[in-house]
Amino acid sequence: MAKFINPFTDVGFKKIFGQEVSKDLLIDFLNDLLVDEKSITDITFLDKEILPEYMGDRGVIYDIYCTTESGEQFIVEMQNRQQV
């Protein structure tokens, strides 16, 4: 039986896109999403977790640091549920 990876989970997204071998694929994917807004030229994979201050709050995990052709830097965080 074949196994599939769900790209909408943190583990699945990291498995498919979060490795150096898939870096060019991820840059192309993100640039397609950001067409006419930004043009990413490089990404860095780093794991940084910020735990919530209070029980019930959300923590944040930064996985992908992007650099654009103009030198702007920003992070990408994948979400699979509605934010309130």
pLDDT band at 12 (very low <50, low <70, confident <90, very high): confident
71, two tokens: 């030198």
Q: Is the dihedral of CA 74, 57, 59, 80 positive or negative?
A: negative
Confidence (pLDDT) at 46: 73
Residue 82 makes CB contacts below 8 A (sequence gap 6+) with none
Confidence (pLDDT) at 61: 63
Q: pLDDT of 27-50, one tens digit each?
A: 999 999 999 899 999 998 876 666
CB < 8 Å & 24+ apart, contacts of 5-10: 8/78, 8/80, 9/80, 10/61, 10/78
Q: Burial-class residue 38 by CB neighbours within 10 Å (0-12, 13-18, 19+).
A: middle
